[in-house]
Amino acid sequence: MSTKVGEDGQIYEWMEDWAELPAPEHASTGWAHHGLAVTRSGEIVGFHPERPEVVTFDGGGRFLRSWPTSLKEGHGITVVEEGGKEYLWVADPGSKMRRAPNGAYEAENAAEQGQVMKFDMAGAGTGRLVRPPHPAYEKGRFAPTSVAVDEVRHGGSGDIWVADGYGEHLVHRYRHDGTYVSSLSGEEGAGRFKCPHAVFIDRRRAESELWVADRENGRAQVYRLDGSFLRVVGEAFLNSPSAFASYGDKLVVAELRARLAILDLEDRLVCYLGENGDVCARPGWPNGVDELQHPVRMPHLQQGRFNSPHGLTIDADGNLYVAEWLIGGRMVKLTPAL
């Protein structure tokens, strides 16, 4: 019997354990903390829970290919097109939680600074963004979590926006050639960012907008693509926005604290999908704990209810793909119900 989630005309079929991950014996102990993106052919791009590898699946979840990287983590993943070719941007915060011999999980071999890398679809590196010349980094750490591109093919400038969600809580703007332009702190808007976890170019309106997931403030801040502030969204109904994706006139927000939120063109909440806030109060969330209080895979995952949505993408048919943040990972596909 299938599980359906949603309301108000937004009903989806829930497909549990959607993706066939390679090296499942390694994946089962890796603490998944990655993004998702979709290519023009409908392939879904993610990152292995344990290995530093980009992984690709077809829409049915069948594993297609993978390639190794020098990244610590594929935290934020974005597919762009330039000159008819697709490229992959990946935000790497520079650290990865790995299982230690005693069973605990620790940030293993954290890099001094994170980075944002650009790859062709065969895995060759074609570009790299490093920390910008901002005063915050005289002592602070650059730990980027998301990247968005104002693509020329959509009439944009080619500018690249990078969220430093785990470092100095800033959003940076670069030119197409990697030249640093400016930064946003949130103070020009609704207030200082607190974990700007994701950036997203929203093209649902005549004028494209930059959305920033101001996660720990429980809201989104919205800007024009010149960096001027427009409005704040969701203070009354968002709790932990972590990723965005759009389809038609709807915007879907992945909330780490166990749900998806669907918004309409007027920034109003349509409904939640898979809401499961109680799970966040369990010891060790997003994982469980063993008798030594070491993290273990969450033992209470429920079909139809989320645990910790982190990565999100939507394909051309409106299917939602969600990657959750927990040991072993969890990949869910939501298909619009007829």
Q: DSSP letter string over 170-194?
A: EEEEE-TTS-EEEEE-STTTTS--S
Q: Please state the pTM of the whole predicted model.
A: 0.97
Nearest Cα neighbor of 205 from 142, 139, 249 is 249
State the pLDDT at residue 1: 54
State the pLDDT at residue 72: 95
Dig out the tokens for 266 from the structure.
């007027």
pLDDT in tens, 250-275: 999 999 999 999 999 999 999 999 99
Nearest Cα neighbor of 203 from 148, 137, 260, 162 is 148
pLDDT in tens, 3-16: 999 987 899 999 99
Dig out the tokens for 214 from the structure.
């101001």
Contact between 156 and 208 under an 8 Å Cβ cutoff? The reply is: yes
Confidence of residue 115 (pLDDT cuts 50, 70, 90): very high
Answer whether residue 102 shows pLDDT above 70.
yes
CATH code of the domain in which 265 resides: 2.120.10.30
Rounded to whole angstroms, how far apart are CA atoms 163 and 152? Answer: 20
Confidence of residue 283 (pLDDT cuts 50, 70, 90): very high
Three-class SS state of 19: coil
pLDDT in tens, 184-231: 999 999 999 999 999 999 999 999 999 999 999 999 999 999 999 999
Answer whether residue 94 shows pLDDT above 60.
yes
Rounded to whole angstroms, how far apart are CA atoms 7 and 153? Answer: 35
Confidence of residue 108 (pLDDT cuts 50, 70, 90): confident
Query: Strands, E, within 121-228: which ranges?
Result: 125-129, 146-149, 160-164, 170-174, 180-184, 196-202, 209-214, 219-224
State the pLDDT at residue 78: 98
Burial class (CB in 10 A: 0-12, 13-18, 19+), 158: middle
State the pLDDT at residue 300: 86
Rounded to whole angstroms, how far apart are CA atoms 52 and 70? Answer: 7
pLDDT in tens, 140-184: 999 999 999 999 999 999 999 999 999 999 999 999 999 999 999
State the pLDDT at residue 251: 98
DSSP state of 135: G
Domain count along the chain: 1
**Tokens 């898979």 belong to residue:** 274
Rounded to the nearest integer, the mean pLDDT of the chain is 96
Burial class (CB in 10 A: 0-12, 13-18, 19+), 271: middle
Confidence of residue 133 (pLDDT cuts 50, 70, 90): very high
Structural domain containing residue 198: 3-336
Confidence of residue 316 (pLDDT cuts 50, 70, 90): very high
Dig out the tokens for 60 from the structure.
């049915």
Nearest Cα neighbor of 208 from 268, 251, 262 is 251
Three-state SS annotation for 26-52: HHCCCEECCCCEECCCCCEEEECCCCC
Number of helices (H), then strands (E), belonging to the chain: the values are 1, 31
Contact between 94 and 114 under an 8 Å Cβ cutoff? The reply is: yes
Answer whether residue 111 shows pLDDT above 90.
no
Answer whether residue 109 shows pLDDT above 80.
no
Contact between 287 and 30 under an 8 Å Cβ cutoff? The reply is: no
Burial class (CB in 10 A: 0-12, 13-18, 19+), 135: exposed
Dig out the tokens for 212 from the structure.
């920033």
pLDDT in tens, 69-83: 999 999 999 999 999
197 φ, ψ to 5°?
-75, -30
Contact between 183 and 173 under an 8 Å Cβ cutoff? The reply is: yes
The rounded radius of gyration (Å) of the Cα atoms in the chain is 19
State the pLDDT at residue 318: 97
Q: What percent of the chain has pLDDT over 90?
A: 93
Rounded to whole angstroms, how far apart are CA atoms 48 and 33? Answer: 9
